[in-house]
Structures are given as structure tokens and as C-alpha cells.
Chain A
């Protein structure tokens, strides 16, 4: 079977590659990453010169990895919705979307193509930032495979952020509204998933948050916290003594999920599932045969 490129991915990459925005975007990305690296290095150096420090700066350099990784995660989380939220609404604004819908591409292929092209564009940035990331590895203490795992998580985060953006893009007529709605959606995924846990803690004064934490499987913040905790210490954020959630405080299921790397894998699966649902919702919304009677189209 011949493997076919999604035509939208091909077109988006062609158009992006010729755009000045890509060059400026790469420049800005590298600049932010370099600044973060230098600031982190400076803090590590200063702390190693203090009276109480052993003076071994090299032992602390491995912390450059989580610092740079978190910086990249934040940048990716911020820019992916901007790329995807304007994708469908941008096509509508350009009046190219109707033509796209009259072709043999299914609405799902169209939205998937848009998200895939956003993920690939993000990978340009991440790969370009690899040499800076790799500086954290030269001192040893970290396995090179961590870089690969990190790239996988970035793809996962890009897919989730892209799916949020594409759904908002399908819901809104204007790109700017779609971008704003995407960040509002972020608040739901990143913030409101904590709500059941906080409600249980504060409303019932319970000592045990129980299974109200399970909604956090969909939360990328907790996913990354657990991911870095596993990589750097081999411990789970739920099981570490003195952490916010000790084993006594979490429920039975959450406790068992915190063993080994189960939470990371299950959370990744949940995030992928959520992304798929969002993609399907976006495809349903853009399908003219599914949408309701709608508004009358104004002629330009």
C-alpha cells in the first residue's frame, strides 16, 4: 500500500516553509530557550558558590534538563492553539474552506491534517532546540533516551493543544475569537480538572481526597509533573513523602496508579483519548451535513 501524505499537511508545510513567520518563530524560540538556559546556569552557579554548598556545580547541571523541558512545554502549550485555532477559521476567512469541503476529503481528515501540520511545525522548533537541551546531558547523570521520551510527550501535548485549537476554530467564525476560546478551554483542562479534588478537600474537610484525583489523568500539568518526577527520581508524585499527596491521602485506585509508571502511561492514554474526542467533535462541527440549519450565508 502506498503511503499518502495528507494533502493539507503537505500544503501547510509548503506554505509555512516559505513564510518569514517560520524563520522569526524559530529565532524567537531559540532565543527564549537560550535565555532560559543561561538564567538557569547562572542560578546554579550562584547557588554552588554559597557557603553551604559543596561547590560541585556539575552535580546540579542535570537540573538544566527539566528547566529547559518545562520552558519548551510552556512555549508549545502557548503557541499550538494559536496555530490551530486559526486554521479552520482562517480557511473560512479566506473562503477556501468551502472548496476543501467539496473535495473527497472527509471532515475528519481535514481537521486531522490541520492538527498534524501543527504538530510537525512544533517538531521543527523542538528539534532545533535539541542542541541546547543536549547541554544538560554532557555532564552525565541522565540517559539520552530521556530526550526521546521528552519528544514523545511534546507530540502528545501538541496533539492535545492542537485538538483544543481546532475545535475552537471549528466553533468560531473569526480566528481571534477561536484563539481566545482555546485559552478559555485550556482553563477547563488545566484548571477545572483540579476542581473535584479541591471540592472534596475544602467542602467535606476530608483528609483523604480519594478518587476525586482521577480527573487529573487528563491534566497535562500533572502528567508532566509525574513524568519529570519519574525521570529524575524514579518516584511518583503521589507516593513521595512530603509531597502534596501522600499515599495515605489518595484513594485506592489512585494509589495503585501511582505505582511504577502506570500513571504516566494511563494519563498519556487519557490525553490521547480526550484529543481524539475533541477532533471528532471538530469534524462533526465542520461537516455541513451535520450542522444545524445554521445562519444564512452573507454574500461578499
Chain B
């Protein structure tokens, strides 16, 4: 499968084009010929174990790291990474960010607005709107260092949106947040997605990503293993069809008859349960059940395991995420 273009098939225009991106640190290759296209309006989840190259990729896109090879384009412009044109198109929220002592929330927003060359009146108006969006309106005159971690993270999102970027990039936005703050962050991102913002999130929390994102890319050891819509990838993984067969009696006979069938690989046999991978079509499943009943096997349950992002991730990378 060509990973390039797989996400945007049949959808809007491309927002982020990463083409053959490579980053080497000496002999170590952090990102290895990564190509990825993300369409406008997508909420894209970047998944991968530690050291997979997600943050490196994000830092290259944001102009914080020079790539060893390849190219990055945003919104169809041909501007170079790190140029002012590109910087105006990106809102970046790092995994961890510090704050300045003795700086109020309003002043914090004002400082970053000025750094984008915005007019102070525009900054003031947008600050009010954005603080309302991230539910921090009542904290406007408070010092940034007195805010909780979750509030600081939401403030950072508001800061990243101040110059109205086309693309919002968040590097592990939920890391270090308590469950409540995670939920608030998730709701905020869903809200932004519904407003039409293109968002790229790198995260370890797969359950959250599967709830939020409409497309994902899985990275491992610097390479993009797969990318596309979540449902497409799920379908791809469930092609293996992990089946659970619960047996009341006749376990030996059941195992024997299953082993005789083509396209079946038994993964494990427990006291009352057989877990197997089945490659056949759905209509073959009923024939399989019939065969086992014919062989005096008493079945109490038979179900197909639903594909989850966790199982997909584990299967593709060999683990490494929550």
C-alpha cells in the first residue's frame, strides 16, 4: 500500500505534505524516508513507541530541527521550513513548556501575539475569545505560574491559536495531565476539529486518540508503518480475524478439527477457550461452527475480537504504548 495519499483519498485538499523526510544523527537514523499527506480538516494522530521518531518529525515540520533530507510543505505553499510564511501557518504546542514567573495570562498572550507581529488591539480581542474557548476567561489577570498543569496546557493551545494557524501541532498534549485535565483537553481538541482546524497530535494514549482522531499514522524506528483512516486500518488489521471459541466439552476434538482446516492458526488454548486467527470469509465461519458441533464439541460462545487501536499498535510495533 502506498502510504502517501492514502489518507486524503476522496477527501479535501492536502494540508501537510511530508515527502521522503529523513533525519540522521550521525549513524543513527531517527526518521527514515517518511512520506505522509494529511488533508485539510483532519484530526491526525501520530502514534509510536518512544524513540519512534514522532517528536523529531514534528520538530522538523515546525522548523525546530533541520532535516537531513526530504521536504515539508504546508497548505500548498513552497515556502521553506522555518520561514516566516511557514511559521504563520503552524501553531505548535510542545509536550512540556515552562512559564515565566511574574507574567499574567493576558501578558503571556500579548507577548506571543507581538512575536507574530500582531496589533495589540487584535491581540486583546483574540485573547478574550481564545481564553473563553479554552475555558480560562476567569484566569486572565492571574499569573501563569499559578495555573495548574492542565490550565497551562490549555493556555498553550490558546497561545498556539492566536495567529490563526492553518495547522495545529500538539506533541503529547496529555502527558503529565490528570484524568480530568485529559478529558478537558480532549474536548477542546474535538471542539477545534469541529471548527475545521487541521490538527496533528502525537500521543501515547491510544484510547484517547482512537476516540478523537479520524486518521492515524503509526511510526516505529523512524519509519511510518501505516497511515490512513482509523476504520480503514482497523479493517486491515481485523483481516486476520482473531476468534474466541468457548468450549464446554470436547476441547481435544475441537482443537483437532480446527487444525485440520486451512487458513486457521491457533494462537492459544486455555481451559475453556481457544483463540485463533482465521483468514477465511465470514460465511465460512458458520461452516466451521457446524463442523465442530458435528464433532461432538459443545460450544458456549463464539465471537470475533473487535480490532482496537491498542491491538493494532501492538501487532505493528511490538508494544511500547499505553
Interface residues of A, Cβ cutoff 8 Å to B: 4-5, 7, 10-11, 14-15, 18-19, 93-96, 98-105, 287-291, 293-297, 299-300
Q: Given that A102-B87, A104-B84 are contacting pairs, would A96 and B97 also be in contact in the complex, using a CB cutoff of 8 Å? A: yes
Residues of B within 8 Å of A296, CB to CB, are: 25, 28, 30
Residues of A within 8 Å of B116, CB to CB, are: 103-104
15 interchain pairs (CB within 8 A)? A7-B112, A11-B100, A14-B103, A15-B100, A94-B98, A94-B99, A96-B98, A99-B156, A102-B63, A104-B84, A288-B65, A288-B82, A289-B82, A291-B66, A297-B56
Binding stretch for chain A, among B36-44, B88-96, B125-133: B88-96
A159 to B87, CA, bound (A): 30
B62 at the interface (CB under 8 A from A): yes
Tell me the dominant secondary structure on chain A's binding face: loop
A103 to B160, CA, bound (A): 9
B77 at the interface (CB under 8 A from A): no
B59 at the interface (CB under 8 A from A): yes
The residue in A98, A103, A294 that gathers the most chain B C-beta atoms within 10 A of its C-beta is A103
B111 at the interface (CB under 8 A from A): yes
B262 at the interface (CB under 8 A from A): no
- A109's nearest neighbour on chain B, judged by CB, is B115
With beta carbons under 8 angstroms apart, the residue of A293, A299, A300 that contacts B66 is: A293
Smallest distance from the beta carbon of B32 to chain A beta carbons, Å? 15
Residues of A within 8 Å of B96, CB to CB, are: 95, 300
- A92's nearest neighbour on chain B, judged by CB, is B98
Residues of B within 8 Å of A295, CB to CB, are: 25
B100 with A103: CB separation less than 8 A:
no
Q: Supply 15 further A-B pairs (C-beta < 8 A) apart from A95-B97, A96-B97.
A: A5-B114, A15-B103, A19-B102, A95-B98, A96-B99, A98-B59, A98-B64, A99-B92, A103-B87, A104-B115, A104-B163, A105-B115, A290-B66, A293-B26, A299-B55
Residues of A within 8 Å of B65, CB to CB, are: 288, 294
B148 at the interface (CB under 8 A from A): no
**Residue total for B at the interface (Cβ-Cβ under 8 A):** 44
B107 at the interface (CB under 8 A from A): yes
B82 with A99: CB separation less than 8 A:
no
B24 at the interface (CB under 8 A from A): yes
A204 to B156, CA, bound (A): 64
Residues of B within 8 Å of A99, CB to CB, are: 92, 94, 97, 112, 156, 159
Residues of B within 8 Å of A93, CB to CB, are: 98
Residues of A within 8 Å of B26, CB to CB, are: 293
Residues of B within 8 Å of A293, CB to CB, are: 23-26, 66, 68
A101 with B64: CB separation less than 8 A:
yes
B111 with A7: CB separation less than 8 A:
yes
The residue in B56, B107, B114 that gathers the most chain A C-beta atoms within 10 A of its C-beta is B114
A102 with B102: CB separation less than 8 A:
no
A294 to B30, CA, bound (A): 12
With beta carbons under 8 angstroms apart, the residue of B66, B92, B100, B102 that contacts A94 is: B100
Residues of A within 8 Å of B111, CB to CB, are: 7, 10-11
A100 to B114, CA, bound (A): 11
- B95's nearest neighbour on chain A, judged by CB, is A299
Residues of B within 8 Å of A98, CB to CB, are: 59, 64, 92, 94, 97
B90 with A102: CB separation less than 8 A:
yes
Q: Given that A14-B107, A98-B94, A288-B64 are contacting pairs, would A294 and B25 also be in contact in the complex, using a CB cutoff of 8 Å? A: yes
- B85's nearest neighbour on chain A, judged by CB, is A104
Residues of A within 8 Å of B300, CB to CB, are: none
Residues of A within 8 Å of B56, CB to CB, are: 297
B102 with A15: CB separation less than 8 A:
yes
- A99's nearest neighbour on chain B, judged by CB, is B97
Residues of B within 8 Å of A14, CB to CB, are: 102-103, 107
Residues of A within 8 Å of B102, CB to CB, are: 14-15, 18-19
A100 to B102, CA, bound (A): 18
- B91's nearest neighbour on chain A, judged by CB, is A102
Smallest distance from the beta carbon of B145 to chain A beta carbons, Å? 11
B66 with A10: CB separation less than 8 A:
no
B50 at the interface (CB under 8 A from A): yes
B233 at the interface (CB under 8 A from A): no
Smallest distance from the beta carbon of A121 to chain B beta carbons, Å? 14
Smallest distance from the beta carbon of A173 to chain B beta carbons, Å? 15
Residues of A within 8 Å of B100, CB to CB, are: 11, 15, 94, 96
With beta carbons under 8 angstroms apart, the residue of B25, B30, B64, B107 that contacts A102 is: B64
B98 with A288: CB separation less than 8 A:
no
With beta carbons under 8 angstroms apart, the residue of B23, B30, B66, B84 that contacts A289 is: B66
